[in-house]
Amino acid sequence: MSVAEAFRMAVQGVLSNRLRSLLTMLGITIGVAAVIILVAVGHGSAVAVSNRIEALGTNVVTIQPGGFGFGRGSGGFRSSFTQLTTKDVKALEDPTAAPDILSVTPVVNGSVTATYGSASYSPSQFLGTTPSYEEARKSPVEAGTFITQADESTHARVVVLGETVVLNLFGRADPLGQTIKLNGTSFTVEGVLVPKGTNGIQDQDDIAIAPLTTTQDLITGVSSGLSQIIIEAKSSHQVNAAQNEATTILTPTHSSNGTANFRVLNQASLLATSSSTNHVFTVLLAAVAAISLLVGGIGVMNIMLVTVTERTREIGIRKALGARRADILGQFLTESVLLSVCGGVLGVAAGLVGSEFKIVGVQPVVESYSVLLALAVGIAVGLFFGIYPANRAASLRPIEALRYE
Amino acid sequence: MSSRPRRRRATLVLKGVSKSYGSGDIAVRALRDIDLVVERGDFVAVMGSSGSGKSTLMNLIGCLDAPTEGRYLLEGIDVSQLDDFELAFIRNRKIGFVFQSYNLVPRTSALRNVELPLVYARVPKHERRQLAEDALVAVGVGDRMHHLPSELSGGQQQRVAIARAIVTEPAIVLGDEPTGNLDSVSGTEVMQIFSRLNVAGRTIVMITHEADIAEYAKRVIHLVDGRIDSDRRTAPVHALPPKLAADDVARTGSG
């Protein structure tokens, strides 16, 4: 019997009990769709995280004060010796000691309350920095200008705002050239940043940026030191070299008992760590989804066993007409594979449609390998779980099968 | 295989065939030491009450079951030595079954039912269709080809079943109470078809418990308790079947 004949008989078998065939397919459909969607969610969250890290700049190394002995952040004990200062910035900008460093951007964090007219708002991030921040952090302005070198040298009272801050203070009005008060001091809005949206943890547009000099004068005070220094390497290949140079330059002045009092964060290594974490997460999701695929396969087997029992007499007739074992085996195996292929194709469709929607805040990103894998596993499941029922049908003795009522 | 000419002419030869079910004290001996030779072109009716072993004999002849003892030669082939694969081949090419309950494959058109043995014989699609259509026309249901079994009357279903039995040009057509589920008019029609098939040279063995149906055959065998009780020839092997209808005789004579 040819493959085409086996296929024809299988189609007839599937169509002869449509509702049951449909429900059986549904098991495989759900399994395949679940694999596709969950892998897409895992991948989507990985993409979101790496986008977030890349948004910070991939050629970038961040230096923060504090070592293992000093705890984290501003809450820990810090002597003036461990503070990062503008002197460190100057040292890092030395092109002979640090040939791989493109730019060095000092940053101080502060907290302010901004007011404009009757509106009042506290941005979650307020920082003072230099013009190179725009390039290093990839935060271009949408309107107006970023902080300029002139602003730095004149200690200008200007500020660049993120979209969220603009909305809270100005609503729909144009903020450019307007004067707002930061902790009671007047600042002129010089620029508005291009919106970046949320990175999943915080709103990246909830930010206000002022010149470093002005911020140290009026908000944080000169003695508090820098919150971080952002170093941009000349290219992505030079990131590690830049990191080593920075470490070499800073270690003599910022270490006690041989332990460095600063931390260097490399975005690339951060990216690698997060992607490996996400990989585990994705595999876990896929494993859970694979279980539903397995359950779908058991559904196929169950229905095929029922079908074989129901059609015992038909099998007897076919054997009396000269069907060989292989003919019967082929017919029923094709039928179970057909069920799982149809279910699988529907599952792929459902998976692709389902991946269009945001799921728990993550925009799923469909991976082509997951589609192929889910479909292949779905079909393999149909084949595997079809073997036993088909073999049972093929092994029926014609005389007994014919007598079956 | 023997080269004696007498055996070559016989379509089927049973030698000392016995069949028992179960074993030991509870063994049931359905057939005991049957010797039977059916020549090509013969039309044999096997009669007997229920439990006489006629169904068992039918299953053995149809290669659906194997004898416990003895030898069974179908066109010179010792069937008792064959494996499942070869038996399937024999059933496909050498035997055409007509069952009491028609046994058409449900939800499958008449044409497709008749094509089935050809499908298993790997006959190409186009040729298969032509053969099946010819067979259906030959038994008088050419206008019902695309109907499902559930849309056909009993007589029509049995005709489709006969078409299916003869489409492979088998060595022997086996009828298992072929008129058992039919009214007398349909039964007569079916027996006329059998008679015409026999005129055309087809060897026929059928079991029945109705004496008037047995009258269509050229030879009547009675089974009692698994043994041949009587073997009566009512017409010569090469004569026309005894109850071939007059118009059929005329048609056969002129054709």
DSSP string, A294-333: HHHHHHHHHHHHHHHHHTHHHHHHHHHTT--HHHHHHHHH
A81 pLDDT higher than 60? no
Give the pLDDT of residue B121: 93
Nearest chain B Cα distance for residue A401, angstroms: 10
Distance between the two ends of chain A, CA-based, in angstroms?
A: 27
Who among A317, A321, A325 is closest to B92 (CB)?
A: A321
Nearest neighbour of A16 by CB, restricted to B59, B107, B116: B107
Contacts for A394 with CB less than 8 Å, ≥ 6 apart: A325, A326, A328, A329, A332
Q: Which of B59, B103, B121 has the CB atom closest to A322's CB atom?
A: B121
Of A327, A398, A399, the CB nearest to B120: A327
Mean pLDDT, residues A278-284 taken together: 87
Residues A28 and A117 in one domain: no
d(CA B40, CA B51): 28
**Tell me, what's the pLDDT at A74?**
43
What is the mean pLDDT of the segment spanning A68-76? Answer: 42
Q: Please write the tens of the pLDDT for every residue from B137-148.
A: 999 999 999 999
In angstroms, how far is CA B81 from the centroid of its own chain? 22
Q: Is residue A59 part of a domain?
A: no
Q: Does A16 touch chain B (CB under 8 A)?
A: yes
- What is the pLDDT, as a whole number, of residue B208? 93
Judged against a pLDDT cut of 50, whether residue B10 lies above it is answered with: yes
Task: Give tens-digit pLDDT for B96-124.
Answer: 999 999 999 999 999 999 999 999 999 99
Report yes or no: A321 at the B interface, CB cutoff 8 Å: yes
Shortest distance, CA A397 to any CA of chain B (angstroms):
8
Determine, yes or no, domain membership for A86: no
Q: Would the pLDDT of B3 be above 70? A: no
Asked if A47 and A365 touch (Cβ cutoff 8 Å), the reply is: yes
Percent of chain A with pLDDT over 90: 45
A1 reaches B (C-beta below 8 A): yes
pLDDT value, residue B246: 60
Mean pLDDT lowest among A122-131, A356-365, B31-40, B218-227 = A356-365
Taking the Cβ of residue B124 and every Cβ of chain A, the question of whether any pair is shorter than 8 Å is answered with no
- The pLDDT assigned to B145 comes to 94
Q: Is B239 on the interface with A (CB under 8 A)?
A: no
Contact yes or no for A319 and B85 at CB 8 A: no
Residue A1 pLDDT class (50, 70, 90 cuts) = low
Best probe of the B interface among A321, A327, A329, by most B CBs < 10 A, is A321
Q: Does the beta-carbon distance from B88 to A399 stay under 8 Å?
A: no
Please indicate whether residue B127 or residue A173 has the higher confidence score (pLDDT). B127
* Fold held by B5-254: Rossmann fold (3.40.50)
Inter-chain touch B91–A322, beta carbons under 8 Å:
yes
Q: Is the pLDDT of residue A125 over 80?
A: yes
Is the CB of residue A241 less than 8 Å from the CB of residue A136?
no
Segment A167-206, tens digit of pLDDT: 999 988 899 999 999 998 999 999 999 988 776 667 888 9
**Domain shared by A155 and A216, yes or no:** yes
- Find out whether A229 and A106 touch, Cβ atoms under 8 Å: yes
Q: Establish if A182 belongs to a structural domain.
A: yes
- Asked if B113 has any chain A CB less than 8 Å from its own CB, the reply is no
Domain range for residue A333?
A: 3-52+273-403
Residue B254, pLDDT > 80, answer: no
- Give me the pLDDT at residue A276, please: 84
Q: With contact defined as beta carbons under 8 Å apart, do A204 and A196 qualify?
A: yes
How far apart CA B100 and CA A402 sit, in angstroms, is 12
* pLDDT value for B251: 57
Domain endpoint, select from A179, A209, A232:
A232
User: CA end-to-end span of chain B, whole Å?
Assistant: 38
Mean local confidence (pLDDT), A22-39: 93
- What pLDDT sits at residue B248? 58
Query: Which pLDDT does position A239 carry in this prediction?
Result: 85
Is the CB of residue B108 less than 8 Å away from at least one CB of chain A? yes
Nearest to A19 by CA among A295, A294, A303: A303
- Measured between beta carbons, the chain B residues lying within 8 angstroms of A12 are 107-108
Residue A303 clears pLDDT 90, i.e. is over it: yes
Residue ranges of A 327-356 with Cβ closer than 8 A to chain B: 327
Is position A207 within any domain? yes
Per-residue confidence (pLDDT) for residue A353, from 0 to 100: 95
Tell me if B92 and A2 make a contact (CB, 8 A cut-off): no
Q: Is the pLDDT of residue A162 over 50?
A: yes
The number of distinct structural domains making up chain A is 2
- B182 in Cβ contact with B191 (< 8 Å): no
Q: Average pLDDT in the A221-240 region?
A: 85
What is each CA distance from A45 to A182, A248, A272, A362, in whole angstroms?
A: 36, 36, 14, 6
Residues 384-403 of A with CB under 8 A from B: 398-399, 402
Q: Give the domain ranges of chain B.
A: 5-254
Put simply, the answer to whether B120 touches A317 (Cβ < 8 Å) is: no
Residues A320-373 have pLDDT tens digits of: 999 999 999 999 999 999 999 999 999 999 999 999 998 888 889 998 988 999
Contacts A393 to B, Cβ<8 Å: none
pLDDT digits (tens, 9 = 90+) for B19-78: 998 887 888 889 999 999 999 999 999 999 888 999 999 999 999 988 999 999 999 999
Contact indicator for A209, A160 with CB cutoff of 8 Å? yes
* Residue B5 forms contact with A (CB below 8 Å): no
User: Which chain A positions have a beta carbon within 8 Å of B117's beta carbon?
Assistant: 321-322
User: Is residue B130 over pLDDT 50?
Assistant: yes
- The mean of the pLDDT values for chain B is 90
The residue out of A205, A232, A259 marking a domain boundary is: A232
pLDDT of residue B255: 40
Q: Given this model, what pLDDT does residue B250 score?
A: 54
Residue of B nearest to A331 (CA): B120
Which class for B122: exposed (0-12), middle (13-18), buried (19 or more C-beta within 10 A)?
A: exposed
Q: Is residue A263 part of a domain?
A: no
Q: Alpha-carbon distance A403 to B56, whole Å?
A: 12
* Extended strands (E) in A183-260: 185-193, 207-211, 228-233, 255-256, 259-260
Shortest distance between the Cα of B107 and any Cα of chain A, in A, equals 7
State percent of chain A over pLDDT 70. 94
Taking an 8 Å cut-off on Cβ atoms, the answer to whether B92 and A399 are in contact is no
Q: Is residue A123 part of a domain?
A: yes
